Amino acid sequence: MKEMLKTIEQNALQSIRNISDLEQLEKIRVQFLGKKGELTQVLRGMGKLSKEERPIVGQVANEVREKIEKELEKTKNALKTAQKDIKLKKERIDISMPGNKKVIGHRHPLLTVKEELETVFMNMGFDVVEGPEIETVYNNFDALNSPENHPSRDLSDTFYITEQILLRTHTSPVQIRVMKQIQSPIKIVSAGRTFRFDEVDDTHSPMFHQLEGLVVDKNITIANLKHTIDMFIKELFGSDMKTRFRPHYFPFTEPSAEVDVSCLKCRGEGCDCCHKTGWDMELLGCGMVHPRVLENCGIDPEVYSGFAFGLGVDRIAMVKYGINNIRLLFENDMRFLNQF
C-alpha cells in the first residue's frame, strides 16, 4: 500500500509540474484528492489493514496528501503571478504616446462676423434680439409698407409656404415684432438667415444673412442715424474709414439711403478693386422709419421717430476676409473653413 501511495505521489507531482493553466490544475486536484480521487480511493481501503499497519500507512498517506497539496498551492500561485504579469504587459499604458486627439470643430467665419457685429452694437448700447425665419407675409411686406405690386413680393422672388406664410426675405420684419411688443424706446439689432429665390452665383445665394438695426424714441433724427452708422463702420474696419450716404428708396423708410464705405483694399486711395473710386459700394441700406410703419405698430409718428438699417452679414464677411465667392461660405469644405 505504501508503494501505491508513493506512486500516486510521484504521478501527482509529475502531472502538476507539466501543467500550464489553472483549469488543468483544478482537474488534477480532483483527480488525486477529490472524493473519487486516487488518494481517497486508497485511503478507503485502509479498513482492510491490520491495526499495526494502519497508523504507519495513515502517516504516509497524510504526508503524500500534504506534499500534493503543497505542490498544488505552489503551482497555483506561480500560475497566478504569471497570468498577472501577462495582463499587466498587455494592458500597459505608454504615457509618452500622443493622446487620442478629439477633433472638435471651430467657429464658422459667418458666426464669428455675426457675433463681432453684435458686439460692436452692444457696446453702443443696442440689445440683441432674435426673430423667426418663417414669417407672415404681413410682417415681411404689408406692415413694412411694401405695396401689393412690389416686385420683391413676386412668387418668383420669394419662398412662400402658404399664401400668408413665407421664409423671410429680409430681417426687417423683426422691426415690426419689436415695435409692436416694446413700442418705445427701442434700440435693437437682430441678425439671422434670410431667403430669396436667387440663382447661385459668386455673390448670390438663396439663403444668406442679414443684420437689422432699429432705434425708436422721441427726437430721433437723421443725425443720429448717420453718427451711428459712421461709428459702427469705424469700429468694425478702422477709424480711418469714411462713410457716404446716397439717396435710395426703401418702402419702409423715408428718407432712405444706401451707404458706401471707403474701399478696404486701398482705404480710399483708389485701386483696381474699387475701380479707382476709393469707395466700396452699397454696404448697407438705411433710413428714417416711415411714419406709416410706426402707425402699423401702434406708435404715434407725431411723437416718436426712428431710424433703421440693414446689412448683409455674408457681404461683410466676404469684404473682411477677402472672400470672392459666396458659395465657399456654405459648402462646408474644411480646407476653406480651417483658414479662419
Q: Which is nearer to ligand DAH, 39 or 176 (CB)?
A: 176
Q: Please state, in angstroms and rounded to a whole number, the distance separating the CA atoms of residues 256 and 235.
A: 23
The candidate with the shortest Cα–Cα distance to 71, out of 16, 15, 19, is 16
C-alpha radius of gyration, the chain, whole number:
44
The candidate with the shortest Cα–Cα distance to 174, out of 162, 161, 186, 159, is 186
| Segment near ligand DAH (CB under 6 A); pick from 44-52, 125-133, 238-246, 279-287 | 279-287
The candidate with the shortest Cα–Cα distance to 293, out of 117, 104, 79, 143, is 143
Interface with ligand DAH (CB under 6 A), residue from 286, 299, 316, 317 = 286
Q: Which is nearer to ligand DAH, 3 or 148 (CB)?
A: 148
Interface with ligand DAH (CB under 6 A), residue from 114, 168, 170, 290 = 170
Residue 297 found at the interface with ligand DAH (CB under 6 A): no
Residue 212 found at the interface with ligand DAH (CB under 6 A): yes
CB of 241 to ligand DAH, least distance (A): 20
Interface with ligand DAH (CB under 6 A), residue from 309, 316, 323, 329 = 309
| Cα–Cα distances in angstroms (integers) from residue 128 to residues 174, 180, 192, 295, in the given order | 11, 17, 11, 24
| Segment near ligand DAH (CB under 6 A); pick from 52-60, 127-135, 285-293, 294-302 | 285-293
147: enclosing H helix or E strand: none
Residue 253 found at the interface with ligand DAH (CB under 6 A): yes
- How many residues interact with ligand DAH (rule CB under 6 A)? 11
| Residue that has been written with the C-alpha cell 437689422 in this structure | 212
CB of 271 to ligand DAH, least distance (A): 27
Residue 287 found at the interface with ligand DAH (CB under 6 A): yes
Q: Please state, in angstroms and rounded to a whole number, the distance separating the CA atoms of residues 27 and 102.
A: 49
299, 179 contact by CB (below 8 A): yes
The candidate with the shortest Cα–Cα distance to 131, out of 232, 250, 216, 212, is 212
Measure CA 310 to chain center: 28
Residue 140 found at the interface with ligand DAH (CB under 6 A): no
Q: Please state, in angstroms and rounded to a whole number, the distance separating the CA atoms of residues 307 and 224.
A: 8
Q: Which is nearer to ligand DAH, 12 or 313 (CB)?
A: 313
Interface with ligand DAH (CB under 6 A), residue from 285, 294, 319, 326 = 285
Q: Which is nearer to ligand DAH, 278 or 310 (CB)?
A: 310
Q: Which is nearer to ligand DAH, 5 or 318 (CB)?
A: 318
Residue 314 found at the interface with ligand DAH (CB under 6 A): no
Residues that bind ligand DAH (CB under 6 A): 170, 172, 212, 250, 253, 285-287, 308-310
